[in-house]
Structure 1
Amino acid sequence: MDIILYLLSVIQYLYQQNCWLISFICRYIPLKQWAFDDSHSPKYQKFKVDVLPKVQIIQHEWNWQLLIPYLEHRYLIKIKPVSRRKECDIPKNCSCPSCGAPQPYLYRNNGKAGQLKCKVCNSNFSPDENRFAKQFTLHCPHCGKALVAKKERKHFVLHKCVNPKCPYYLHNLKKVDEQDLKEDYGKNKYKLHYIYREFTIDFFSMDLNSLPKNASSLKFSKHNAHVMSLCLTLHVNLGLSLRKTSQALKDLYNISISHQQIANYCKTAAVCIKPFVDQYPYQKGNTFIADETYIKVRGIKTYVWFIMNAACRSIIGYQVSDNRGVGPCILAMRMAFRGLTKLPENFKFIADGYSAYPLAAIEFVKKFGKDFSFKITQVIGLTNDDAVSKEHRPFKQIVERLNRTYKASYRKTNGFDNIEGANYDLALWVAYYNFLRPHKHNRYKVLNEVEILQGADNMPGKWQLLIFLGQQTILNMQKTDAVAQERSCCQ
């Protein structure tokens, strides 16, 4: 009996020691630092995206006709028009932007420098630059100070918190190496202040159904729809160039057709098929994978954005752009989120370390609220140096394999002559990848089975049915737009 009591006391003592060790580790040893050692380095601070700023709405509710009797009744102050010693040079149509007081209540505050002052509300203003026209101001979420517009770029304005006592700035300043602090402008190597990008273009109002121009019609004068589908099969499925497709048609079927006519057929097919591919109700799981690669258009780099569903491997978002900015990323993500009113539970968006994806995620939160609030899981580098890369590396390899598959079909073109050619080529390739190409991981079946395509015995027939489905999608879109216009007119 004494042995049992002794063992129980030992167990209680060991339990207390374990509790003390766990509390010590949680308090003094940052376990997250082991997994994300590089992410806490100040050198990687420039790749991070700050949270949204605080927005302060500016409301000007003063009215000079109500303000004058109020001041007289409340403070016994009688406000009369300005008694001038010489002729007034202020325009008669000039009024106070704050309370609306007319020209008799205005006078020059600093002589000929241009600043005016209102006698009613004591507001200073300039007739050329009206600071009261602002509807809101942006403030730092850490210190509450107003942000200062520092730079203007093509699609956004860069706002910065210049408060030297901002806790966010002081926290980042502690991580900077002492040698850099001793150097002149050494702090400029790091991103220390809070920064916010205000985009001047609404990427959510842009049309996602942009189609290539200069496409030919489906009224055939020399050839027929079967020849067109043969061109698509040889060019898209088998990966032949336009000239080799023309040669193959001549050698196999004795059909004389130029490579330019084949290109026109491909543009026409892209016009018809792209709406069906984009509007198709794909299965969307809780994990999306995104990546970007580059192609050449007249020898200049052009970027292709891909977003995949990790579960079914379908391409649910794609975009061709002449830049690697946030705008094309938002357009590709809009295409991927099409049809979703709310993100699924435990949603993950996996991408590389490029900062355009976190910026795009912030814009979705601004536009749609908390229902589209998500974080970007960034797999950085080529080796698994941290726990995040080790866990999500297989997902990243999927989209990297997709890039190599697309590059294999692109390599035969040796670059495109214009971005429209890259657009229609990508649209046809995505249609082939999602609906016609057999995949090994899906037991050599297509990713998305369409019932009407199962009735075709050969690939040219499937291409003709895809064109038919695209035409039906276009007609449905036109009917929907017509009904929406009628409702708006009735209202």
Structure 2
Amino acid sequence: MDSIITYLLLYNQYLLKTIFQLVLFIAKHIPLKQWAFEDSNSPDYQKFKVDKLPKILRFEKIDYQLLLAYYKHKYNKLVKPINRRNGKSIPEYIICPKCGAPHDYIYDNNGAKGQYQCKVCGQTFHQSNHGTKPVVFVCPYCGRTLDAKKDRKHFRVHKCVNPKCSYYLKNISKLPKDLPPADKHKYKLHYIYREFTVDFFKMDLNSLPARAINFSFKKFNPHIMGLCLTYHVNLKLSTRQTAHALEEVHGIKISHTMVAHYATTAAAVIKPFVDSFNYKPSNILSADETYIKVKGIKHYVWFIMDTCKKSILGYQVSDNRAVGPCILAMRMAFNKFKQFPSKALKFIADGYSAYPLAAQQFKLEKGWDFDITQVIGLTNDDAVTSEFRWVKQVIERLNRTFKSSYRVTCGYGSENGALYGVSLWVAYYNFLRPHPYNYWRPLNELKEFSLADNMPAKWQILIRLGQLAILDLQEQQQHC
């Protein structure tokens, strides 16, 4: 037996030595073709790269008389009107769009070709356009004004077309040497910025549905509604299976349509309480999206959760995978913070470009500067993915938990039904579902549940808390 083990050890060492020699031979004589682009080996992934923010120049109007008084006070010298020696004159209707200086202070800047310059404020403008752009985007690498190239559904693409831009020249130098010129368009070479034309920060996250306060029972009672929610949400039964279980177990004859109506109405009432609850979140958030079907068409559910406390802080249902619903989900999650943690926030997501684009918009609109840590792939190939892989796994487990309850629905019938279905499941996940993380207790324990000894009663308490939250929202809207 000892001789066999010794022989196997020696043979193992021989194999390792042979492998080392082969690797050394390949490294010396068969150099592998390396791609210089650091984000992916395939040019198909170049579009997911997000550039840093451009320099933003905002147009602000001033009064030329105040400027003249300022120059007089500071330099003790008056800015006189232009003395035109060539006999040419500027039309009287030409005034500076920035400071309002009259034609006496306007230069003919390019030899009667239509461009003018103000002597008071230095603003240049064109005859055909007396106004000035309210916002000008400038390339952060070369300082050239970006050109608007494409109009998409929710944003406009601006590109730096300067052939001498350092960003462009650097990317050109990284291209493979044997790349055909016709394939250059597959790579992202120019600096690009996406200007959003829809303000996702002014959308109301707390809009109240029409049926939120219409709560009446003609044939059944609140306890039966609690039973419907318990079977349908907690036990993951479809509406037809729920109606069948109520008849077989409790002797209650109810249609599956009524079960669906109860679920939709309860979701509409409970949602304001779930969204406005004080979760006291930690500074580690994770985000991911998964797909669902609405009338057979693919839609997306966005989840943002507190990775440490496991509560779902933000969620959205959308028919697209664009940046807009990502911003709305992040707004819902960030509203849970009494004071935004900024750089202390660790926001973990996958490699999808919507998250860094959304972070740019938060920096522009809110001044919230935070970093997006992207965990890419399924293996830990670098230090970042090794450190934050566990965070990504937490949100992936959340997606699997949601999908296990979603499958019984066979898809949703409308976008509103999908949103209410997801919000009802979030209420169950955050307040009713036992979690091993919290010793098989709910993540957020409510003191009101101490009076309830069964699940239907807890659903009724959640509905009552939702009604109180709706009244608070209505009072806030009246005061505003």
TM category (shorter chain) comes to 0.7 to 0.9
Amino acid corresponding to residue 407 of structure 2 in structure 1:
R
1:6 is matched with none
**Structure 2 vs 1, CA of residues 62 and 76 (structure 1 numbering), >3 Å: closer, same or farther?**
farther
Q: How many Å apart are 1:454 and its aligned residue?
A: 2.3
Q: How many Å apart are 1:377 and its aligned residue?
A: 1.0
Q: Deviations over 1:171-211 (max 9, x none)?
A: 1211111122xx23322111111110110111111111245
1:469 aligns with 2:470: no
Contact 2:59 2:132 in 1 (8 A): no
For the residue of structure 2 that corresponds to 1:409, the secondary structure is: helix
Counterpart CA distance in 1 for 2:141 and 2:448 is 57
Q: 2:361 aligns with which of 360, 363, 385?
A: 363
Q: 1:206 aligns with which of 192, 197, 203?
A: 203
Q: How many Å apart are 1:251 and its aligned residue?
A: 1.3
Q: Deviations over 1:264-322 (max 9, x none)?
A: 11111111100110001112112101000000011111000001111111101111011
Q: Deviations over 1:140-172 (max 9, x none)?
A: 011110000000011101001111111111112
1:23 is matched with none
Amino acid corresponding to residue 418 of structure 2 in structure 1:
A
Q: How many Å apart are 1:342 and its aligned residue?
A: 2.3
Q: How many Å apart are 1:125 and its aligned residue?
A: 2.5
1:445 aligns with 2:441: yes
Counterpart CA distance in 2 for 1:235 and 1:435 is 16
2:391 is matched with 395
Alignment of 1:171-182 (within 5 A): 171-180=170-179
For the residue of structure 2 that corresponds to 1:132, the secondary structure is: coil
Amino acid corresponding to residue 52 of structure 2 in structure 1:
V
Counterpart CA distance in 1 for 2:383 and 2:118 is 64
Q: How many Å apart are 1:45 and its aligned residue?
A: 4.5
Counterpart CA distance in 1 for 2:410 and 2:440 is 29
1:375 aligns with 2:371: yes
Amino acid corresponding to residue 227 of structure 1 in structure 2:
I
1:24 is matched with none
1:313 is matched with 310
Alignment of 1:53-452 (within 5 A): 53-59=54-60, 61=62, 73-77=80-84, 98=97, 99=100, 124-126=126-128, 130=129, 132-180=131-179, 183-211=180-208, 217-340=214-337, 341-343=339-341, 346-369=344-367, 372-452=368-448
Counterpart CA distance in 2 for 1:432 and 1:147 is 48
- Structure 1 stretches of 4+ with a deviation exceeding 4 A read 40-45, 59-64, 70-75, 78-84, 94-97, 99-102, 115-123, 211-216
Counterpart CA distance in 2 for 1:346 and 1:72 is 51
For the residue of structure 2 that corresponds to 1:174, the secondary structure is: helix
Q: How many Å apart are 1:60 and its aligned residue?
A: 5.5
Q: How many Å apart are 1:469 and its aligned residue?
A: 0.6
Amino acid corresponding to residue 345 of structure 2 in structure 1:
F
Instruction: Give the TM-score normalised by structure 2.
Output: 0.80
**Which range moves more in the overlay, 474-483 or 331-340?**
474-483
**Structure 2 vs 1, CA of residues 168 and 123 (structure 1 numbering), >3 Å: closer, same or farther?**
closer
For the residue of structure 2 that corresponds to 1:422, the secondary structure is: helix
For the residue of structure 1 that corresponds to 2:417, the secondary structure is: helix
Q: How many Å apart are 1:447 and its aligned residue?
A: 0.4
Q: Deviations over 1:418-448 (max 9, x none)?
A: 1111111101100000000001122111101
Counterpart CA distance in 2 for 1:297 and 1:154 is 21
Contact 1:79 1:119 in 2 (8 A): no
Q: Deviations over 1:221-262 (max 9, x none)?
A: 111111111111111111110111111111122222111111
Counterpart CA distance in 2 for 1:313 and 1:301 is 27
Amino acid corresponding to residue 293 of structure 1 in structure 2:
T
Q: Deviations over 1:20-55 (max 9, x none)?
A: xxxxxxxxxxxxxxxx99548684543221111111
Q: How many Å apart are 1:471 and its aligned residue?
A: 0.8
Instruction: Give the TM-score normalised by structure 1.
Output: 0.79
Counterpart CA distance in 1 for 2:376 and 2:90 is 70
For the residue of structure 2 that corresponds to 1:318, the secondary structure is: strand
**Which range moves more in the overlay, 355-364 or 249-258?**
249-258
Contact 1:42 1:175 in 2 (8 A): no
For the residue of structure 2 that corresponds to 1:179, the secondary structure is: coil
Counterpart CA distance in 2 for 1:382 and 1:331 is 27
Q: How many Å apart are 1:389 and its aligned residue?
A: 1.6
Q: Deviations over 1:385-436 (max 9, x none)?
A: 2222222111111111111110110101111111111111101100000000
**Structure 2 vs 1, CA of residues 118 and 312 (structure 1 numbering), >3 Å: closer, same or farther?**
closer
Counterpart CA distance in 1 for 2:82 and 2:213 is 78
For the residue of structure 1 that corresponds to 2:247, the secondary structure is: helix
CA RMSD of aligned residues (A): 3.3
**Structure 2 vs 1, CA of residues 216 and 346 (structure 1 numbering), >3 Å: closer, same or farther?**
closer
Give the fraction of aligned pairs with identical amino acids, expressed as a percent. Answer: 52
Counterpart CA distance in 1 for 2:280 and 2:117 is 65
Counterpart CA distance in 2 for 1:80 and 1:60 is 31
Counterpart CA distance in 2 for 1:118 and 1:349 is 49
1:47 aligns with 2:48: yes
For the residue of structure 2 that corresponds to 1:219, the secondary structure is: coil
Counterpart CA distance in 2 for 1:119 and 1:396 is 56
2:30 is matched with none
Q: Which runs of 5+ in 1 are unaligned?
A: 1-35, 85-91, 486-491
Amino acid corresponding to residue 398 of structure 1 in structure 2:
V
Counterpart CA distance in 2 for 1:352 and 1:58 is 37
**Structure 2 vs 1, CA of residues 297 and 123 (structure 1 numbering), >3 Å: closer, same or farther?**
closer
Counterpart CA distance in 1 for 2:233 and 2:373 is 33
Q: How many Å apart are 1:71 and its aligned residue?
A: 11
Q: Which runs of 5+ in 2 are unaligned?
A: 1-35, 69-76
Counterpart CA distance in 1 for 2:144 and 2:117 is 29
**Structure 2 vs 1, CA of residues 209 and 178 (structure 1 numbering), >3 Å: closer, same or farther?**
same
Amino acid corresponding to residue 343 of structure 1 in structure 2:
P
Number of residue-to-residue matches in the alignment: 426
For the residue of structure 2 that corresponds to 1:141, the secondary structure is: coil
